[in-house]
Chain A
Amino acid sequence: MTVTTVTDLHDGAGPSPASANGTVRHGLGSVIRRVWLVPIVIIAWELGTRQAESPFFPPPSRILVHMHELWFSGPASALYLTEEASANFLPSIGRLFSGWALACILGIVLGIALGRSRTLFDYVNPIFEFARAIPPPALIPLFIIIFKIGTPMQLATIVYTVIWPILINTIDGARYLDSLHSETAQVFRLSRAQRFFRIILPAAAPKIFAGMRVSLSMAVILMVVSELVGALNGIGYLIQAKQQTLDLAGMWGGMVLLGLLGYVLNGTFLFVERHVLSWHRQARQTN
Chain B
Amino acid sequence: MINPRVVRGVVGAAGLLAVAEALGRSGLVDPVLLPPISTVLAAAFQLVVNPEFLADISGTLTVWGGGLLVAVLIAAPLGVLLGTLPAAELAVRPLIEFLRPIPSVVLIPLVTLLMPWDHGIKGTVVVYAAVWPVLINTMYGLRDVDPVAKDTLRSFGFGELAILRRVSLPSAAPFVFTGVRVATAIALIVTISAELLAGGADGIGAFMIRAQSGLRTDIMLAATVWTGILGFAANAVLVRAHRWAFRWHVTKAGGA
Contact = CB atoms under 8 A, between A and B. Distances in A.
B193 A34 contact: no
B87 interface: yes
12 contacts: A122-B9, A126-B13, A129-B232, A132-B231, A133-B232, A134-B231, A135-B231, A137-B205, A139-B224, A141-B196, A236-B106, A266-B97
A153 to B, nearest CB: 14
Nearest to B178: A6
A119 B179 CA distance: 32
Interface stretch (B48-56, B107-115, B146-154, B165-173): B107-115
Interface of A: 1-2, 4, 6-9, 12-13, 33-38, 41, 56, 119, 122-127, 129-142, 145-146, 217, 220-221, 224-225, 228-229, 236, 239-240, 242-243, 248, 251-252, 254-255, 258-263, 265-266
A228 B197 contact: yes
B103 interface: yes
Q: What band does the interface of chain B fall in when counting residues whose beta carbon is under 8 Å from A? A: 35 or more
Contact of A7 (B33, B101, B182, B204): B182
A138 B217 CA distance: 13
Interface of B: 4-5, 8-13, 15-16, 33-34, 87, 90-110, 112-114, 133, 136-137, 139-140, 143, 175, 178-179, 182, 188-189, 191-193, 196-197, 204-205, 208-209, 212, 217, 220-221, 223-225, 227-232, 235, 239, 253-256
- Pick the 4 closest A-B CB pairs, nearest first: A262-B101, A133-B231, A243-B109, A123-B12
Contacts of B11: 123
A127 B101 contact: no
Q: From DSSP, what is the main secondary structure of chain B's interface residues?
A: helix
Contacts of A138: 192, 196, 204-205, 208, 223-224, 227-228
Contact of B90 (A34, A137, A145, A229): A34
Contact of B93 (A34, A130, A139): A34
Contacts of B189: 135-137
A217 B182 CA distance: 14
A224 B105 contact: yes
Contacts of A125: 5, 9, 12
